[in-house]
């Protein structure tokens, strides 16, 4: 499943890097007045958001970023969620994972799978972050691509991640990972976040788990 393989690949580095951002000042962050806040996701009961995912092409050296696909999240804490991944390309399959709080069912475009309890499976970086949301984040004001943002940076062994937050809402709008390779730093992953909706009731039908062998609507 493209969705699951991609997020499993990104889960550990993203969450590990995020862990370094919260509660401490990142040594790689640019100099400036620090802004600390508790992310709204820490207390949100329901969350809806869309992620556009970009990744570098495979090869002996990191290639240019290409759009991998779009993920849409509907989450109701503590353990209901609907995650749909549409891989880039008209002929590519749409995959999903849905939990009603008791059972999770997934579809990878070819096969269905399920497990008894939803909380046994947190395969997505977004949901892993939500499930382990720390107390506060420290950022500095910055400008990226002509936009005023709050920037948090994490760096380790030459690799760097940037997290851009909306300065008014304190919601995450962008994440990028850069790696150093043979003296050159290249962006190898990025996720753009949009359409945040917090604490709005979500219809129970959204979390309806389809029977194996049937498509979710």
Res 180 pLDDT > 50: yes
Residue 216 lies in a domain: no
For residue 137, is it within any domain? yes
Could you give the number of structural domains in the chain? 1
Give the model's pLDDT for residue 173: 92
Q: What is the pLDDT of residue 128?
A: 52
Indicate yes or no: pTM above 0.85: no
Indicate whether 32 belongs to any domain.
yes
Q: Residue 101 pLDDT > 60, yes or no?
A: yes
Q: How sure is the predictor about 142, in pLDDT bands with cuts at 50, 70 and 90? A: very high
pLDDT digits (tens, 9 = 90+) for 22-60: 433 343 445 568 898 888 887 888 999 999 999 987 655
In this structure, is residue 129 part of a structural domain?
A: yes
For residue 74, give the CATH number of its domain.
2.50.20
- Residue 191: give the domain boundaries: 2-206
The CA-atom distances, in angstroms, between 96 and each of 16, 22, 76, 82, 215 are 25, 30, 16, 7, 10
């Amino acid at each position: 499943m493209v969705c699951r393989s991609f997020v499993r690949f990104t889960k550990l580095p993203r969450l590990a890097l995020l862990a370094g951002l919260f509660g401490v000042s990142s040594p790689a962050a640019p100099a400036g007045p620090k802004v600390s806040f508790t992310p709204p996701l820490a207390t949100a009961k329901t969350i809806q958001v869309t992620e556009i995912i970009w990744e570098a092409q495979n090869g002996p050296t990191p290639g240019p970023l290409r759009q991998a696909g779009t993920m849409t999240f509907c989450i109701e804490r503590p353990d209901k969620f609907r995650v749909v991944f549409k891989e880039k390309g008209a002929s590519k399959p749409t995959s999903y994972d849905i939990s009603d709080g008791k059972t999770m069912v997934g579809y990878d475009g070819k096969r269905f799978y399920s497990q008894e309890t939803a909380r046994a499976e947190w395969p997505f970086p977004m949901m892993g972050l939500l499930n382990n949301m720390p107390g506060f984040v420290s950022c500095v004001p910055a400008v990226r691509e002509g936009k005023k943002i709050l920037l948090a940076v994490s760096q380790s062994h030459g690799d760097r991640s940037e997290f851009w937050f909306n300065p008014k809402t304190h919601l995450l709008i962008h994440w990028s990972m850069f790696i150093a390779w043979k003296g050159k730093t290249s962006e190898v992953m990025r996720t753009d976040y949009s359409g945040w909706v917090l604490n709005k009731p979500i219809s129970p039908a959204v979390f309806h788990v389809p029977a194996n062998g049937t498509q979710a609507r």
